[in-house]
A and B are shown apart, each in its own frame.
Chain A
Amino acid sequence: MVNFLLTEEQVALKELSRSFGERQLQPIADELDRKASDDPASPFPWGALKEFSALGLKNLPLPEKWGGADMDVLTHCVLLEELMTVEAGFAAAVHQSWKLAGLLAECGTDDQISRYIGAFSEDSEYLMGDGTLGPIASSEDLELNARPEGGGWALEGRNRFVGCGPIAKLLFMDAASVSTAPGSSDAVTFLVSQGTPGIRQEEIHDKMGARVFLESELTFDKCRVPVEDVLSDGNESGAKNRYFRKIAPTLGAFGVGVARASLETSIAHCLERVQGGKPIFEHDVVSFRLAEMKVDVDVARDLVWRAAWHSDHPGEGAPGIGLSALLFASEMAPRVCDMGIQLFGGYGFMRDYPVQKYWRDSLMCLNHGDTHDMARLKLGRLIETEAI
């Protein structure tokens, strides 16, 4: 029976995430953002991550025996929205660790799980780094190659955008194996510990927004990885790709959270700012704009929730809804954040006010692993093949 009520446990975690964000991130968000303009390598808030871990939030996607709660996709979306309302970069970093820890727990061998999940669960500063392709991109784009060498593998080449590349302790790297036929979608996913010989840290990207989420280029030169650290052979129907399709709705939660932040800030501003003898909130044209923002945010959330439920209950149909949630919410966010800036008038252009940061952060949503047109095309192809 259709129901939109979160469980008590979900509500409690949501409140916990919100209060954590307000306490640990809100006060420093602007300062971190500015610091990163001078030094892109500087701003990760380790203190906040430790607190996040101490509250038990970092380990949520892990199985219970590792101190987690087997967090489902819906809960992931709900919590990510809360974190996104306060600091998009931090949210992106912990989202990534949730996602990859979940991937490892789902696809890893017992040996991999006990080595890496064990370490992740016990270390409050342990982050996962993401060099995987995600649910949209094609393996043809890989610039990292893997060739068999001495009973293991050697990685050669580079990955331009590794999430948490400079600070993660374990890197999840997709590489095209040299035996892979050209045009095939096969990629192999390797677990590579930070500091493995042959990995070189290149530049940390200087980004428009989400600056706390450090992304860097990594180059690999004869970087040897033992066979025990192959996570997945990554063919299209494989467990890893199934997992990424499953969690696609979580990418929609990014947009919902940052757009909500812009909306809430805008409402407060419009109630306070007086022009024409009354708060601008009372001017119809402002009401229209706020209403359009509200509609966009709420509809996107409803879609993300429905898509997340389908991810948690496979076999109930709606094969394209995860991509729809990703597309709709991610394109909604910059639209809403743009309106937020307009409602602030000239103040919207000033860095003293947070709406410009939300707008910059929101544009991150347009590039979850690949461009939006690729996501759109992927959904179009799914419509063709799955008769949606």
Chain B
Amino acid sequence: MVDMRLTDEQLELQALVREYSERVLRPIAADCDRKSQSDPEGCFPMEALKEASRLGLRTLGLPKEMGGRDIDTLTHCILLEEVMAVEPGFAATFHQVWRLAQHIARQATEEQKKKFLVPFAEDDTCLLSIGQTEPGAGTDNTFPYRGVDGGVKLSAVKDGNEWVLNGTKHFVADASLAKIFIVLGRTDPNLPGPDGSTQFLMWRDTPGFSIGRTHDKLGAALLMNAELILENVRIPESDILMGLNEGFSDKARHYGRGAPMVATFGLGTARGAYEAALAYARDTVHRGKPLIQDDAIAMRLADMLTLIEATRSAIWRAAWGSDNREHFLQRDAAVSSYFSTVCVRSVCQNAMQIFGKNGYLRNFPAEKYMRDALMTNHINNTVDVRLLKIGRSLTGETVSPL
């Protein structure tokens, strides 16, 4: 039976995350963003992360016996929306750590859990990161391209009980700060990328493993994307996550069901921009009355709210599908992630309009939401790839994990 009521646990966590975001992130968001211009690596608010850890927010993706909540996709989306509405970059960090902790917890051996997840749970500043994209391998991994000449190039060669990894990754979310990494290496160059790639677990201090430059981005500064450089990094066979060549397999699909989560980037950012514009329209008096009493402003707000509600509806359906496999459709997931980019660009631009000239000024919040919004154009997939996947799926042809 169709139901839109959140569970008590979802409501409880939503309130907790909302309170945290308003209290801890709201006051520092603009300053961190400004600082990132001169110091892309030093702008991260470590105290905010520690506070999140104290509240149990960093480890929500872990199973209950490890102190987490094992949150499902819908809960992930609901909580992520709350943080996104306040600080999209920091929110994206939560997204990474929630889904990666869950992915590792579900796929890791007992030995791997002891080696990686137990220390992760105990260290208040420990973040997780996954390196998939390479300078020459972006959409090849996600569409995916089936030729042996495409996909992951970072080489992984077996040597005794170890694998020797060489190559580079870039755009890797949270790489500047993360302590534990999953790195995708090409373990069989004679197979197409999706069939010949493997996920390796490694600590940041593994010899030969280093972090390159932190990317200097338009927005979402607190999601610290960076390069990974691997030079003769030796990883024991036992640190392969899932099986050999299963980096993009069905087992990795759980991780691939994240499209509604990614769609929430757009939803939450749009909501933040809408709320800022609404407050501005209420508080700003123009020609003797609050801006919101102007018909044109009220109608613009109506359009913004409508897009937000539409996006939230699509995300909830897609997330429900992700959580109930028998009803899962890749296409629903892609629909939500495509539409959220349409929503967030439109809503953020409308917010800037409501702020008038102030919308363009950095001491008002609208322009930052607009910049942050543009990260949604390429997260996981480019907008065009999402569209192509939807288009191609309309005959029932299956598509790969998104």
Interface residues on A, range: 35 or more
Closest CB in chain B relative to A103 CB, distance in Å: 23
Contact A2:B320 (CB < 8 A) given known A286-B391, A291-B387, A377-B298: yes
Nearest opposing residue in chain B for A373, CB measure: B299
Contact with A along B272-293 (1 / 0, CB 8 A): 0000001000100000000011
Interface residue ranges of A54-97 to B (CB < 8 Å): 74
Q: Establish whether residues A320 and B292, one from each chain, have CB atoms under 8 Å apart when the complex forms.
A: no
Stretch touching chain B among A123-131, A134-142, A236-244, A300-308: A300-308
Stretch touching chain A among B121-129, B154-162, B202-210, B311-319: B311-319
Contact A299:B327 (CB < 8 A) given known A376-B303, A380-B301: no
In the assembled complex, B19 has its CB within 8 A of some CB on chain A: no
Q: Which residues of the other chain, A, contact B300 by a CB distance below 8 angstroms?
A: 380
Q: Which residues of the other chain, A, contact B301 by a CB distance below 8 angstroms?
A: 380, 383
User: Which of A2, A6, A290 contacts B5, CB < 8 Å?
Assistant: A2
Q: Which residues of the other chain, A, contact B6 by a CB distance below 8 angstroms?
A: 1-2
Stretch touching chain A among B229-237, B332-340, B365-373: B332-340
Nearest opposing residue in chain A for B308, CB measure: A324
Q: Which residues of the other chain, A, contact B303 by a CB distance below 8 angstroms?
A: 327, 376
Q: Establish whether residues B5 and A299, one from each chain, have CB atoms under 8 Å apart when the complex forms.
A: no
Q: Establish whether residues A380 and B2, one from each chain, have CB atoms under 8 Å apart when the complex forms.
A: no
Q: Which residues of the other chain, B, contact A388 by a CB distance below 8 angstroms?
A: 305
Q: Establish whether residues B388 and A290, one from each chain, have CB atoms under 8 Å apart when the complex forms.
A: no
Closest CB in chain B relative to A148 CB, distance in Å: 37
User: Which of B3, B282, B306, B317 contacts A328, CB < 8 Å?
Assistant: B306
Q: Which residues of the other chain, A, contact B302 by a CB distance below 8 angstroms?
A: 320, 323-324, 327, 376-377, 379-380, 383
In the assembled complex, A7 has its CB within 8 A of some CB on chain B: yes
Contact A291:B305 (CB < 8 A) given known A298-B314, A377-B299, A380-B298: no
Contact with A along B321-349 (1 / 0, CB 8 A): 10000010001100110110010000000
User: Which of B1, B298, B309, B321 contacts A318, CB < 8 Å?
Assistant: B309
The residue among B1, B306, B336 with the most chain A CB atoms within 10 A of its own CB is B306
In the assembled complex, A295 has its CB within 8 A of some CB on chain B: yes
Q: Which residues of the other chain, B, contact A187 by a CB distance below 8 angstroms?
A: none
Q: How many angstroms between the C-alpha atoms of A292 and B293 in the bound complex? A: 34
Q: Which residues of the other chain, A, contact B387 by a CB distance below 8 angstroms?
A: 287-288, 291-292, 295
In the assembled complex, A271 has its CB within 8 A of some CB on chain B: yes
Q: Is the interface of B mostly helix, strand, loop or mixed?
A: helix
Q: Which residues of the other chain, A, contact B388 by a CB distance below 8 angstroms?
A: 284, 287-288, 291
Contact with B along A318-353 (1 / 0, CB 8 A): 101101110110000000000000000000000000
Q: Establish whether residues A306 and B316, one from each chain, have CB atoms under 8 Å apart when the complex forms.
A: yes
Q: Establish whether residues A306 and B395, one from each chain, have CB atoms under 8 Å apart when the complex forms.
A: no
The residue among A267, A290, A305, A383 with the most chain B CB atoms within 10 A of its own CB is A383
Contact with B along A161-195 (1 / 0, CB 8 A): 00000000000000000000000000000000000
User: Which of B278, B299, B310 contacts A299, CB < 8 Å?
Assistant: B310
Contact A291:B3 (CB < 8 A) given known A306-B316, A321-B309, A380-B302: no
Q: Establish whether residues B335 and A295, one from each chain, have CB atoms under 8 Å apart when the complex forms.
A: yes
Contact with B along A368-388 (1 / 0, CB 8 A): 000001001101110110001
Closest CB in chain B relative to A312 CB, distance in Å: 9
Q: Establish whether residues A5 and B2, one from each chain, have CB atoms under 8 Å apart when the complex forms.
A: yes
Nearest opposing residue in chain A for B390, CB measure: A291
Q: How many angstroms between the C-alpha atoms of A376 and B307 in the bound complex? A: 12
In the assembled complex, A281 has its CB within 8 A of some CB on chain B: yes
Q: How many angstroms between the C-alpha atoms of A368 and B44 in the bound complex? A: 51
Q: Establish whether residues B278 and A271, one from each chain, have CB atoms under 8 Å apart when the complex forms.
A: no
In the assembled complex, A309 has its CB within 8 A of some CB on chain B: yes
User: Which of B74, B313, B321, B335 contacts A294, CB < 8 Å?
Assistant: B335
Q: Establish whether residues B316 and A302, one from each chain, have CB atoms under 8 Å apart when the complex forms.
A: yes
User: Which of B295, B309, B320, B394 contacts A3, CB < 8 Å?
Assistant: B320
In the assembled complex, A111 has its CB within 8 A of some CB on chain B: no
Q: How many angstroms between the C-alpha atoms of A79 and B305 in the bound complex? A: 27
Q: Establish whether residues B306 and A384, one from each chain, have CB atoms under 8 Å apart when the complex forms.
A: no
Q: How many angstroms between the C-alpha atoms of A5 and B299 in the bound complex? A: 34
Q: Establish whether residues A309 and B3, one from each chain, have CB atoms under 8 Å apart when the complex forms.
A: yes
Q: Establish whether residues B310 and A2, one from each chain, have CB atoms under 8 Å apart when the complex forms.
A: no
Q: Establish whether residues A4 and B320, one from each chain, have CB atoms under 8 Å apart when the complex forms.
A: yes
Contact A324:B306 (CB < 8 A) given known A3-B3, A381-B298: yes
The residue among A291, A298, A310, A325 with the most chain B CB atoms within 10 A of its own CB is A291
Interface residue ranges of B1-45 to A (CB < 8 Å): 1-7
Q: Establish whether residues A313 and B5, one from each chain, have CB atoms under 8 Å apart when the complex forms.
A: yes
Q: How many angstroms between the C-alpha atoms of A27 and B8 in the bound complex? A: 50
In the assembled complex, B392 has its CB within 8 A of some CB on chain A: yes
Q: How many angstroms between the C-alpha atoms of A241 and B243 in the bound complex? A: 61
User: Which of B1, B293, B309, B392 contacts A384, CB < 8 Å?
Assistant: B293
User: Which of B299, B332, B391 contacts A290, CB < 8 Å?
Assistant: B391
Q: How many angstroms between the C-alpha atoms of A316 and B3 in the bound complex? A: 11
Q: Establish whether residues B391 and A287, one from each chain, have CB atoms under 8 Å apart when the complex forms.
A: yes
Q: Establish whether residues A2 and B391, one from each chain, have CB atoms under 8 Å apart when the complex forms.
A: no
Q: Establish whether residues B338 and A295, one from each chain, have CB atoms under 8 Å apart when the complex forms.
A: yes
Q: Establish whether residues B5 and A324, one from each chain, have CB atoms under 8 Å apart when the complex forms.
A: no
Q: How many angstroms between the C-alpha atoms of A67 and B3 in the bound complex? A: 27
Q: Which residues of the other chain, B, contact A313 by a CB distance below 8 angstroms?
A: 4-5
Q: How many angstroms between the C-alpha atoms of A316 and B5 in the bound complex? A: 8
Q: Establish whether residues B309 and A306, one from each chain, have CB atoms under 8 Å apart when the complex forms.
A: yes
Contact A380:B295 (CB < 8 A) given known A316-B4, A318-B309, A324-B305: yes
Residues of chain A touching chain B, judged by Cβ–Cβ distance below 8 Å, are 1-7, 74, 267, 271, 281, 284, 286-292, 294-295, 298-300, 302-303, 305-307, 309-310, 313, 316, 318, 320-321, 323-325, 327-328, 373, 376-377, 379-381, 383-384, 388
Q: Closest 4 A-B residue pairs measured CB to CB?
A: A380-B298, A287-B391, A291-B391, A302-B313
A-B contact pairs, 18 of them (CB 8 A): A3-B3, A4-B320, A74-B2, A267-B394, A286-B391, A288-B387, A288-B391, A298-B335, A302-B313, A303-B309, A305-B313, A316-B5, A320-B302, A323-B306, A376-B299, A376-B303, A381-B298, A383-B278
Given A287-B391, A324-B310, A325-B309, 17 new contacts (CB under 8 A): A2-B74, A2-B316, A3-B320, A4-B2, A4-B320, A5-B327, A306-B4, A306-B313, A307-B309, A309-B4, A320-B305, A324-B306, A324-B309, A327-B302, A376-B299, A381-B298, A383-B298
